[in-house]
Amino acid sequence: MSQAHENRTTSTEAPERLTGSVVVVALVSAVSGLLYGYDTGIISGALLQIGEDFDIGSGWEQVIAASILVGAVIGALSCSWLAERRGRRGTLLLVGVVFVVGAVAASLAPTPFLLSISRLVLGFAVGGATQTAPVYVAELAPTAYRGRLVLFFQIAIGVGIVIATVVGASESVPWRLSIGVAAVPAALMFLLMLRLPESPRWLLRSGDADAARAALASVRPPERDLEREFGEIRENVEAEREAGTRGWSGLRAAWVRPALVVGCGLAVFTQLSGIEMIVYYSPTILTDNGFSDSTALRVSVALGLTYLIAQLIGLAVIDRVGRRRLTLITLPGAAAALFVLGAFFATGNDGKSMIPWIVGTLITFMAFTAGGIQLMGWLTGSEIYPLATRAAGAAAQSAALWGTNVLITLTLLSIMRTIGTGPTFWMYGLFNVAAFVFLYRTMPEMTGHSLEEIETRLEEGRFTPAGFAR
């Protein structure tokens, strides 16, 4: 283990106080997460109005819903490249501009085709923000506050989903306004970024030590001794430069592959869990099966609130229960809820008298999946990869997550039309069973282990559940 790693693990004292710049960093993290949750969630209620305005069927609805996800894949991959070459701050400023342009263009789109293209542009910003913002925040935040700033990002996603479902459920807000209003927080994010410096770590990697020192000083209290922290960053950057396994090519190394398999597999299963089916299409699914629009939209709000509450509970207990254990405990509950939902629809028990049972089962599913596997998709990307491949690994994991999301969104309504609502729920229940088997066999318990310990076990070929148990 390098000296830089040893120094980093021992430097855990918090600064005496938070600076205004660090508070702005927290706000940027929160706004980017909120935009992610809102822009992906608002389509759930808006699709009911869009379908009527444009007189389109399920095929176009799937394309409109999925276009933002295709853009997110492109944004996650390209912004990973941009952030490495042009800096984190510059990339996030670009993302803020694209957020505004995409939201305004989508709200004014005169045809389904142009609406899809506008949401593709908006998706670029969503993917870019989710890829770049956590890295930027982690590199600016003091060590003692880093976890809480990541928490802001995760919780803000849930807040964005809740706001989107409330707006959709009101039915009085035109879909153009509900989509276009996202330009306001996007503009706020851009203005907040103007106050912040470039990442000191990126500046040092680019060879500008003076600018790196000035950037670090701007986000630390004046009384803070910067020499130790700046020395750790310098040693860490030098260790990255000397690493034999680096970047995208490093992900192909045999000893890194187990982390890539677990990370990308987990990202895929977070989407195959059925969460996006419920977030994007629950109003459409329910109205297609005889529910009124108002009932379906109120259910969507309840599901959004459940998502947020379950995330808060999961984040509160994850370090005590453990990442692996929490995931394996909650997956069977999610699978069982989907099997029960499938039985309701497959046996014709989906009438008005069954509404409380259907809604209760949907909420149960949302609680198990949001408080379990959904917490892991973004968290593991920052933990399981070696330092020199961490940015590339996180980008690959993001692309796997968004790519699976695209596939689901483009096919879900067509699958339901073909095999029925009940069997579709059963299919996703089986995906949760497969996720349990996959993660039980491959995912180690990383809670309580430092990033350096995780990397050491990778190097030793012990990145397995048994390898972390001893």
Say if residues 107 and 39 touch (Cβ distance below 8 Å).
no
Structural domain boundaries, residue 405? 252-463
Number of domains in the chain: 2
What pLDDT, on a 0 to 100 scale, did the predictor assign at position 451? Answer: 67
Phi and psi based region of residue 305 (left: phi greater than 0; alpha: psi -120 to 50; beta: remaining): alpha
Count of C-beta atoms within a 10 Å radius of residue 177:
11
DSSP 67-98: HHHHHHHHHHHHHHHHHHHH-HHHHHHHHHHH
The pLDDT tens digits for 422-439 are 899 999 999 999 999 999
Q: Is 235 within a domain?
A: no
In this prediction the pTM is 0.75
Q: Is 201 within a domain?
A: no
Choose the final residue of a domain: 196, 218, 239: 196
Which residue in this structure is represented by tokens 């980017």?
A: 32
Same domain, 129 and 278: no
Count of C-beta atoms within a 10 Å radius of residue 271:
25
Q: Is 1 within a domain?
A: no
pLDDT exceeds cutoff 60 at 443: yes
Closest CA to 440 of 324, 350, 323: 324
What pLDDT, on a 0 to 100 scale, did the predictor assign at position 382? Answer: 66
Same domain, 171 and 259: no
Same domain, 276 and 141: no
Same domain, 145 and 277: no
| pLDDT mean across residues, the chain | 83
Q: Is 242 within a domain?
A: no
Higher pLDDT, 134 or 174: 174
Q: What is the DSSP letter of 142?
A: -
pLDDT exceeds cutoff 70 at 11: no
First to last CA, the chain: 19
Q: Is 425 within a domain?
A: yes
Q: How far apart are CA 67 and CA 115, in angstroms?
A: 9
The pLDDT tens digits for 383-397 are 788 867 877 887 888
pLDDT exceeds cutoff 70 at 168: yes
What pLDDT, on a 0 to 100 scale, did the predictor assign at position 13? Answer: 44
What pLDDT, on a 0 to 100 scale, did the predictor assign at position 5? Answer: 43
From 155-159, 184-188, 237-241, the region with the lowest mean pLDDT: 237-241
The domain that holds 48 is classified in CATH as 1.20.1250.20
pLDDT exceeds cutoff 80 at 288: no
Mean pLDDT, residues 295-311 taken together = 84
Say if residues 157 and 74 touch (Cβ distance below 8 Å).
no
Phi, psi of 146 (to 5 degrees): -60, -45
Which residue in this structure is represented by tokens 């952030």?
A: 83
- Per-residue tokens: 152: 């802001």
Mean pLDDT, residues 267-284 taken together = 82
User: Distances from the Cα of 332 to the Cαs of 38, 60, 436, 438, 447, in angstroms?
Assistant: 28, 34, 8, 13, 21
What pLDDT, on a 0 to 100 scale, did the predictor assign at position 147? Answer: 60
Closest CA to 283 of 54, 40, 45, 37: 45
Q: How far apart are CA 128 and CA 108, in angstroms?
A: 23
Choose the final residue of a domain: 164, 180, 196: 196
Q: Is 153 within a domain?
A: yes
